[in-house]
Amino acid sequence: MPIRLLLLFLICTCISTANAQINRNSNFIEFGIGLAATNYSGDMAEPHLELVQTRIGGQLFVRYQLHPNFLVRGQVFGGVVAGDDKHSPVHAGRNFKFSTTLVEVSGLLEMALGTYAYDPLFSASTLYISPYLFGGVGACFARPKVTYYGSEARRDYFVRAPLPEGGTGQTLLVAPFGVGVRMIARQQLSFGLEATARPTFSDLFDGVSQNGNSTERDWYYTVGVTVSYYLNGPWNPADTNF
């Protein structure tokens, strides 16, 4: 999918152009929240993402600095993901649609690629900007609801197995990975922007497999913003080598 290639390109670009410059010795703990747009690729979104199928989700997380360049993060993400054949040029005549609420619990490792000072014209305070890569593993608990809304005369042709396939409750392994950038402001607040891709290693996330393309695995994606607070701060720029 193009979105996966774009994400991998951004990761490779960050690795080749950024120099890790963080030189802090303290181990910081952050607590944060986030809001994200969600999307998906699978049986009802081939061969590319459809922006009209974007939904919303949110997260709570705790981040801990293990090392000046490495941090660990535990998070709980919840949201809605949906898809509809009518938005797919490949499957517009099949007439399936699905929606699922999901809860994801995951653990991530972050690698900071640098910390860079920026003095904005509108403020006397220095901002500190840090891009990073991350990846990890988690569990996704989804409840897909699938509807066939086409002609009843053609139902047996398209619906070869009961919907949703795999049942209404799914527990799936996921491997979130992506890129982000955070801005540290006022020493105890951090604002971030993240893009995340999540392979599910399953074709049952959307409740359609044998009725669709059973060889393709489902993915879901998020792009969102975060804000976090340093519980044992303040974050100290004096300990950073720029």
pLDDT, block means (10 residues), the chain with 242 residues: 55 43 61 97 82 96 90 97 90 91 98 86 80 98 96 93 91 98 85 97 94 91 96 60 35
Peptide bond before residue 2 is cis, with ω within 30 degrees of 0: no
Supply φ then ψ for residue 13, to 5 degrees: -65, -45
Q: By the 8 A CB rule, do 34 and 57 touch? A: no
Q: What is the pLDDT of residue 240?
A: 44
Q: What is the pLDDT of residue 31?
A: 96
Minimal CA–CA distance to 178: which of 238, 221, 122, 233? 221
**pLDDT digits over 9-42, tens only?**
554 544 443 333 434 446 789 999 999 999 999 9
Beta-bridge partners for 143: 101
DSSP 49-65: --GGG-EEEEEEEEEEE
Residue 159: its H or E element: none
Q: What is the pLDDT of residue 229?
A: 93
Beta-bridge partners for 101: 80, 143
Q: What is the pLDDT of residue 137?
A: 98
Q: What is the pLDDT of residue 6?
A: 55
CA–CA–CA angle 177, 180, 185 (5° rounding):
145
Pairing of the two strands 29-41 and 55-67: antiparallel
Minimal CA–CA distance to 179: which of 128, 123, 139, 131? 131
pTM of the full structure: 0.84
**pLDDT digits over 178-187, tens only?**
999 999 887 7
Q: What is the pLDDT of residue 108?
A: 98
Beta-bridge partners for 98: 83, 146
Q: By the 8 A CB rule, do 85 and 95 touch? A: yes
Q: By the 8 A CB rule, do 102 and 141 touch? A: yes
> What does the alpha-carbon distance between residue 153 and residue 101 come to, in Å, rounded to a whole number?
31
Is 2-239 CATH 2.40.160.20? yes
Q: What is the pLDDT of residue 167?
A: 87
Residue-range domain boundaries for the chain: 2-239
